[in-house]
Structures are given as C-alpha cells and as structure tokens.
Structure 1
Amino acid sequence: MPAVVKIGPGPDGVIVTEVAVPEVLPGLAAVRVTATGLCGTDVHVAHDEYGYEAPVVMGHEITGTVIEVGGEADADWLGRPVACETYFSTCETCRWCRAGRRNLCPQRRSLGSYEHGGFAEIVVLPVLNLHELPQWLDPLEGVLAEPLACVTQCLLDPPVVQAGDRVLVTGPGAMGQLAAQVAGALGAAVTVSGLDRDARRLEVAGRFGATTTTSPLIDGSFDVVLECSGSEAAAEVALAAVARGGRYVQIGIFGRPVTVPIDQILFKELTVTSGFASTATSWRRALRMIEAKQVTLGPLVTGQVPLEDVHAALEAVERGDGLKTVVVPGRHDGLVSTSA
C-alpha cells in the first residue's frame, strides 16, 4: 500500500512509497484509515527535531474503521469508527507504566515515529489503543480526539484551570483552539493571542467565545497562561502575562533549545506544569467532552490532502496556514474539507 515514510534525515527523507501491510496478530487490530491529522510533531519529525526510527510510516492523529482483528475475543470491534492512542507499546513494568502514566515510559514506542503510523491506507495497532467514536461525529473530526486528549492531559491531570480564572492562550493553532475551548468549558474567561497573520485563526477562536488579540499582553493579570505555539517569543510573553502566584502550562513543543526569562518563575512564585502526550484518563475525559458536545471540532478541520501532497501540507503547517489539515489516503466518498 502507498504510505508517507520517513526514511532518512531532513524533509527530503520524507517520501511516498509502497509498504507492506503488517500482519494482524492476536491482540492487534487493522484500521482502515479515514484520515490522519497533520501535527506540529510531524513537522518536528520531518526536520529531525523529534525522535524517530527510520524507516517509519508517519502520522499519529488517526481515525478510521476497524476492518480486522487478530483474535475472536476482539471481534466486537469490527466495523466500529475509532480514534487511536499513539502508543504502540510500553514496557508495562516500569514505575510510570504501573502508575498509569504510560506516556512517560522510557521504552515507549509511538505510532508515526517508532512504529508505522496513519499516513497510509491501513494501520495495525494494539486493540488496547482503540477508542470508539460517536456514530454522529463527522468522519474527519475524529482526528482531533488525540490532540484533545493531549490538551485534557495538560489541563485536567492535575486540574490547572478553574471557574472564574482569567486564562491566556498563546498560539491560535489547533492545539490553542482546543485548549481555549476546554478552558472555556471549565468556566474560565479566555483570551487567545496571536500574530497579525493569525487573523483568520483568531476569528475562529472568537466564534467560540474567546476574546482575541494581536497585541503582546504583559500586564501580569492572567491567573493561567497556556503556551500552545512552541514559540520562544510567545513563551516570553506568556511569562510576562501571568499573574504573581499564577500557573504557566507548556503545551506547545519547541523542538529545540530556547532562551526564556525563567527567573520570572522565581520572582512570581509560578506553578509550571505541562503534559506529555496522553493517558487513558485524559482520553476518557476528551471523549466525554466530545460526547457531551462541550467542544466544537468541525471548524478546526480546514483542509484535506492526499498522501502525495504531504510535503506541501507540511510546509503549510510550518507557515501557520489554516488550523488542522488532514491526510486522506485512498478514496473516501463523502469526505469534504471545511475552511476557517
């Protein structure tokens, strides 16, 4: 089957080529991919700024339908629409796995970086990774379940946003939009900050009730700042914007060493937290928010591309075009792209 494969260093090491469909052994399931979201992490993998093991099929924000299972015990999954956790395997015995924090396992092997991911027609992964999606959910919106689980990991485990908080979100990309919606659902007054070029993205955030701005906010009045851009400049603004005794949450990935005024953490007595990927708990929270319609996903999907256009799509992500572009392998009648 055709797939987008990272075969070597740099963006030129990302190619579309044929790969074999993996065998569906007991405990595994084959998912016919409906779509896989393009994530900033995919850009980091392309530029060797995030760990990977070549050759590997890229893509980890996967949604699709289960078409085969490796054992009769899992037959109930057949035909179900699913989103997929990103871990193919963890050791299950280290102190982090045993505490339910498989995301921190030193031996974790994730889809799209160390095991074949979703930029292909079929992905094979453990049944343990599957999460059933509501039948009413649009076929493309399921790709946002995985980034939403990452956001709930950052904001809810442990909880960092409470009703009445003033919350600043830096970076109006897909992660920033999801973070703003989750914070709003928790009762916070949310402001989303971006650059002049982010006008259309900020318009989307405004539709969901956030105040938006392109002016640096350095007044130190926000109870919580959620840094979602992975930008050094945005992190500096976020540290200036957070109030004394406030909370700083790093959600975006920088992908390289950065210089920020870390003394602000000391001077303001800030609580600094983050969340790496997701856990079973954060997935449960994310799916409950989807089912309760506490988040709106459709307007965040702003385009779709076939496998062969992935290079142009990765460049668009780097430029900040749109919100969430999805890679759609093969033919899927009825799928349409939306625009912000």
Structure 2
Amino acid sequence: MKGLAKLAAGVGHLGLVDRPEREPGPGQVLIEVHGTGVCGTDLHIEAGEYPTDPPVTMGHEVSGVVAATGEGVDTAWTGTRVVTETYYATCRTCLMCRSGRPNLCAGRRSIGSRADGGFASRLVVPVGNLHAVPDRLGEHAAALVEPLACVCNCLFDPPTVTAGDEVLVVGPGPMGLLAAQVAAAMGGDVTVAGLPSDAERLDLARSMGMRTTMDPAGAGLVDVAIECSGSGGGAAAALESTRPGGRYIQVGVFGRPVTVPLDRVFERELVITSGFASTPASWARAIGLVERGEVLLEPLVSRVAPLAAWAEVFDDLRRGHGLKSVIDPRL
C-alpha cells in the first residue's frame, strides 16, 4: 500500500512510497483509515527536529473503522468506528506506565514516528488503544480527538483553570482553538490572541463565539495564559500577560531553543505546567467533552485531501493557510 513515510534521518527525506501491509497480531486490530490529521509535529518530523525510527509511515491523529481483529481480541470491535491512542508499545513496568502516564515511558514507541502510522490506507494498533467514536462526530473531524486529548492532558492534569478565571490563549491554530474550548468548558473567561497573519483563523474563532485580540497586552494581566503558537514570541507574550501568582501552560511545540523572559517566573511567582502528548485519562476526558457537545471539532476541519496532495497540505500548514487538514487515503 502507498504511505507517506519518513525515509531517513535529517531534514526532509519524506516520500509517498510502497509500505508493507500487516495483519493484526495477538491483542491487535487492523484499522481501515478514514482520516488522519496533519499536525505541527509532522512538520517537526520533516525538519528532523522530532525523533523517529525511519523508514516509518507518518501520521498519528487517526480515525477509521476496525477491519480485522487479532487473536484474543473481541470480534465485536469489527466494523466499529474508532479513534486510537498513539502508543504502539510501552514497557508497562516502569513507574510512569504503572501510574497511568505511558506518555512518559522511556521505552515508548508511538505511531507516526517510531511505528507505522496513519498516512496510509491501513494501520495496526493494540486494541487497548481504541475508543469508539461518538455518534455525533464525523469521520474526518474524529481525527481531532487525538490533539484534543493532548490539550486535555495539559489543562486537566493538574487542573489549570477554575471557574471565573481570565484566560488568554496565544495562537489561534488547531491546538489554540481546542484549548480555548476546553478552558471555556472548565469555566474560564477566554480570549484568543493572534497576529494579523492569523486574521482568517481569528474570524473562525469569533464565529464559534470566542473573544479575540491581536494585542495580548491590551487584555491586561490574566489568571491563566495558554501558549499554543509554538513560537518564542508567543511564549514571551503569554509570560508577560500572566498576573502575579498566575499560571502559564505550554501547549505549543517549539522544535528548537527559544528566548523567553523567564525572570517573570520568579518576579511574579508564576506556576508553569505542560503535558506531553496524551494519557488514557485525557482521552476519556476528550471523548466526554465531545459527547456532551462542550467541544466542537467539525468547524476546525478546513480541508480533506488525498495522500497524493501531502506536499501541498504540508506547505499550507507551514504557511498558516486554513486551519486543520485531514488526509483521507481513500480519495
């Protein structure tokens, strides 16, 4: 089958090539992929800034249908619409695994970087990774449950927003608009900040009922600042905007060292937290938010494209065009 793969370490080395098809082994399922979101992490993989084990099929924000089950797996899964957690394998014995934090296992192998992912027509994952897709959710928007789970990991563990908090979200990309919705569901009074180049994305945020600004400083100091831009400038703006005793949450991925005014941390006694990828608990929270209609995913899908258009889709993401693109390998 054709798949978009990282073929070698370093900058570039991506290609749409023939990739091996596998049958599910014991405890595994075979997913027919209906949609895989294109993520900023994929750009970091392309740039050689994120660890991979090439050659490996990329793509980790996956939705699809269970096509076959391996030995020991309940066959009732067959035909079920699913999304999947990203960990293909963890050690299961370290402190992190045993405390429900497999995202921090030193031996983890994630789909899309160290195990074959969803930029192909079929994908094999452990059955324990699966979550049934809520009926209200379309097959392409369902791919956004994975980044939503990552946001939930950042904002809920530990809880970062309490009812009535003034919250500033810096960066109106997919992660920013997901974080804004989650923060609002937690009781925050949310403003989304962006640059003039983000005008289209800020328009979308306003159409979803969010307050927006191009001047974070104009909003005054806030209780919680959530950095989702993955830029040094965004991080600096978020730190400068956090009130004394407030909280700063890092969601965006920089991919390289950045310069930020860390003196604000001790001058204002700020609390800084983050979350790497997702956990089983954050997936449960994400599914619940979608089921209750507290987070909307459909409006964030700006384009559905075939695998053959991957280079154009990556370029759009790099330029900040649109919001969230989803690759459908059936097209």
Match of 1:113 in 2: 113
Q: Partner of 2:217: helix, strand, or coil?
A: coil
Say which SS state the counterpart of residue 197 (structure 2) adopts: helix
Contact 2:171 2:227 in 1 (8 A): yes
How do 1:164-179 and structure 2 match up within 5 A? Answer: 164-179=164-179
Asked whether the equivalents of residues 219 and 240 of structure 1 are also in contact (C-alpha less than 8 Å), the reply is: no
- C-alpha RMSD of the superposition: 1.2
Deviation at 1:145, TM superposition (A): 0.4
Deviates more, 1:308-317 or 1:24-33: 308-317
With over 3 angstroms needed to count, the CA separation of the structure-2 counterparts of 1:254 and 1:218, relative to structure 1, is farther
| Aligned-partner Cα distance in 1 for 2:170–2:10 | 28
Give, in whole Å, the separation in 1 of the partners of 2:168 and 2:222. Answer: 6
Is 2:12–2:47's contact at 8 Å kept on the other side of the alignment?
no
Kindly state the Cα deviation for residue 312 of structure 1 after the two structures are TM-superposed.
1.3
Give the drift of 1:309. Answer: 1.2
**Alpha-carbon distance in 1 for matches of 2:232, 2:145:** 27
Superimposed CA distance per residue, residues 143-173 of structure 1 (whole angstroms, 9 cap, x where no aligned partner): 1100000011111111000110000000000
Count of aligned residue pairs for this structure pair:
331
Calculate the TM-score normalised by the size of structure 2: 0.98
Equivalent residue letter for 2:135: Q
User: Which position in structure 1 is the counterpart of 2:210?
Assistant: 210
Q: Does 1:123 align with 2:119?
A: no
Q: Counterparts of 2:114 and 2:233 in 1: how far apart (Å)? A: 31
CA distance in 1, matches of 2:191, 2:73: 48
CA-CA distance at 1:98 after TM superposition: 0.8
Match of 1:293 in 2: 293
Q: State the 1:134 CA deviation.
A: 1.5
**Aligned partners of 2:137 and 2:298 also within 8 Å:** no
Paired with 1:73 and 1:57, the residues of 2 have a C-alpha distance of: 25
Q: CA deviation at 1:211?
A: 1.3
Moved more, 18-27 or 226-235: 18-27
Residue 72 (structure 1) shift? 5.0
State how 1:82-231 maps to structure 2 within 5 Å. 82-217=82-217, 221-231=221-231
Q: C-alpha displacement at 1:74, in angstroms?
A: 2.0
* 1:14 aligned residue: 14
Q: What is the percent sequence identity of the aligned residues?
A: 48
Cα drift, residue 273 of structure 1: 0.0
Q: CA deviation at 1:207?
A: 2.3
Alpha-carbon separation, structure 2, partners of 1:84 and 1:168: 30
Unaligned runs of 5+ in 1: 332-340
Task: Tell me the residue number matched to 1:251.
Answer: 251
- Give yes or no for contact 1:74–1:127 (8 Å, CA) kept in 2: no
Q: Secondary structure at the match of 2:74?
A: helix
TM-score (norm 1): 0.95
Shift of 1:209: 2.5
Distance 1:92 1:194 in 2: 41
**In structure 2, what is the Cα distance between the partners aligned to 1:326 and 1:309?**
11
Q: 1:52 to 1:11 in 2, by over 3 A?
A: same
Deviation at 1:220, TM superposition (A): 5.2
Cα distance in 1 for residues equivalent to 2:11 and 2:4: 12
Aligned equivalents of 1:154 and 1:242: distance in 2?
A: 17
